[in-house]
């Protein structure tokens, strides 16, 4: 049986929410969430400590909050074997990707989990997701797994490949264009695919984010003038959601070619799977 020191970091979300006079809102500490959900029974070998950073609905999460989470992991890095972040589901995939790019040289596992239902809801998924996340956090160091992961509904997803695909189902996340890393069942972790280790040197915190970014979704009738309006508003980077493998109206292609010498222009695809191939 593996043993690991796990720091559980609370940032809010449905997993920490309770009913209040103003509706459901994050109101529980990380320790309260775990003790209520698991009755104080943690996986054998998981030595758990707690750190509360914030209690926010994840729809209110901002890049500054990503920096706070990354810095907390950085400052506690030597004292723990794994890190578990309790987070809301709406922006969990964004935070997972942000942490993956912020924590350079990450040689330990950072796990994010949350829930679709609160602890007070019938059929709550809080206990399962917490247990699975703790089991994976305990086993990952022994398995040589480092990096950022989302653990949800028994699935372990590489953080930069996680995507929320349902607003209601308990099985709310999938892995985009990448295999599931593992499945968790009970007290066991079943590895499906080992990611390549990309650890280079000591851990470095590079937590700077550009927020003047616009995401433009292609649609029939989209005009190139939209790009000019965004540039006038001070946008410093464009993410273009193209059709299929990268198809866009000729007018928009011409405008993007014109502005690409002045700012980054990234082309992605509206379909979830497959990706972009601009040679087609």
Helices (H), the chain: 30-38, 63-75, 92-102, 126-143, 225-232, 250-259
> Between 63-75 and 92-102, two packed helices, what is the crossing angle to 10 degrees?
50
For the question of residue 14 being annotated catalytic, the response is yes
CA gap 129, 135 in Å, rounded? 10
Backbone angles phi, psi at 56, to 5 degrees: -130, 150
Catalytic entry in 14, 113, 118, 174: 14
Q: How far is CA 233 from CA 7, 230, 271, 276, in A?
A: 42, 5, 28, 28
- Collapse the DSSP code of 122 into the 3-class scheme (helix H, G, I; strand E, B; otherwise coil) and give the result: coil
Please tell me what DSSP assigns to residue 260.
T
- The answer to whether 4 and 82 are in contact (CB under 8 A) is yes
Enumerate the active-site residues: 14
């Amino acid at each position: 049986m593996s043993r690991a020191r796990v720091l559980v970091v609370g940032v809010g979300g449905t997993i920490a929410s309770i009913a209040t006079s103003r509706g459901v809102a994050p109101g529980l500490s990380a320790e309260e969430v775990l003790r209520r959900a698991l009755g104080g029974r943690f996986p054998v070998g998981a030595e758990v400590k707690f750190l509360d950073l914030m209690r926010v609905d994840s729809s209110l999460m901002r890049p500054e909050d990503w920096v706070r989470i990354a810095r907390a992991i950085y400052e506690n890095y030597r004292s723990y074997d794994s890190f578990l972040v309790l987070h809301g589901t709406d922006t969990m995939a964004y935070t997972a990707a942000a942490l993956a790019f912020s924590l350079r040289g990450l040689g330990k596992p950072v796990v994010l989990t949350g829930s679709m239902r609160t602890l007070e809801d019938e059929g709550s998924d809080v206990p399962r997701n917490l247990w699975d996340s703790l089991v994976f956090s305990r086993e990952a160091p022994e398995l040589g797994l480092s990096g950022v992961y989302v653990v949800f509904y028994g699935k372990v997803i590489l953080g930069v490949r996680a995507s929320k695909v349902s607003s209601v189902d308990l099985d709310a996340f999938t892995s985009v264009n990448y295999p599931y890393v593992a499945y968790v069942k009970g007290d066991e972790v079943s590895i499906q695919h080992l990611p390549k280790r990309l650890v280079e040197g000591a851990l470095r915190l590079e937590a700077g984010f550009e927020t003047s970014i616009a995401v433009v979704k292609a649609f029939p009738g989209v005009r190139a003038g939209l790009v000019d309006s965004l540039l006038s508003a001070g946008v410093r980077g464009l993410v273009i959601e193209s059709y299929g493998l990268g198809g866009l109206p000729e007018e928009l292609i011409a405008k993007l070619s014109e502005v690409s010498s002045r700012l980054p222009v990234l082309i992605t695809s509206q379909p979830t799977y497959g990706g972009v191939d601009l040679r087609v």
